[in-house]
Amino acid sequence: MQIRQFLSAAMLGLCLMGAANSAVGFDVPSGTYELENTHGYITFSYDHLGFSTPHVGFNSFDVELTANIDNPAESSVNVTIDASSIDSRVDEFDKHLNGTEYFDTANHPEITFASTEMVATGDNTFDVTGNLTIKGVTKPVTLNATINKVGNHPMRNIPTIGLSASGTLSRSAWGLGKYAPVVGDEVTLFITVELIKP
């Protein structure tokens, strides 16, 4: 994630382009969409002792959406994050996050999300369920995704999809539970990305 930020992920909901097209009035083609790497963000937040709500992100990641416009339910999304690109904006804390008590990035260099189901909840909103793998542990998560805009990029003149997503998970379920529950076990994910057709 060169601040190309999930999971997603949430973006995953994009796959249901059919419903989104009717909402935004733009018929994007089916096919593969990739992250526009200067406009993508994946971050998470948690409660720190009740005193603050830190926001931590990743600076290097890839997103690939395979959109089936005729049958959106057959669309899919995959996210791959360079776990060592985690960025808390505090160097010392980044070292801890890369260590064995947290993400153990030397042994588990990637975080991945692969969608398994997309369900429309509105004209441009979706519940996107998929498998999230962190530190070798794979568990299902569901994200609430919103397609912000679909259309030709005004500068690139290529089909572009913008979306946002969010969801919550228990970090201890992936072996990241150090200091829980004093430091909050519930983590909130935030994702916003622009995807382009190469």
Phi, psi torsion values for 87, nearest 5 degrees: -140, 105
Q: What is the pTM (predicted TM-score) of this model? A: 0.84
User: Which pLDDT score is estimated for 192?
Assistant: 95
Give yes or no for residue 2 having a pLDDT over 80.
no
Neighbour tally for 74: CB within 10 Å: 12
Going along the chain from its start, the domains and CATH numbers come out as 10-196 (2.40.128.110)
pLDDT, tens only, 110-145: 999 999 999 888 888 889 999 999 999 999 999 999
Give yes or no for residue 82 having a pLDDT over 60.
yes
Q: What is the CA radius of gyration of the chain?
A: 17
Residue found by looking up tokens 């398994």 in the block: 116
pLDDT, tens only, 145-187: 988 988 889 888 999 999 899 999 999 999 999 999 999 999 9
User: Which pLDDT score is estimated for 151?
Assistant: 87
- Integer Cα distance of 113 and 108 in angstroms: 14
User: Which pLDDT score is estimated for 66?
Assistant: 86
Q: How many helices (H) and strands (E) does the chain have?
A: 2, 10
Count Cα neighbours of 43 within 13 Å in the Cβ-side half-sphere: 15
**What is the average pLDDT value for the chain, to the nearest integer?**
86
> Distance of alpha carbon 187 from its chain centroid, rounded?
13
Residues in the chain: 198
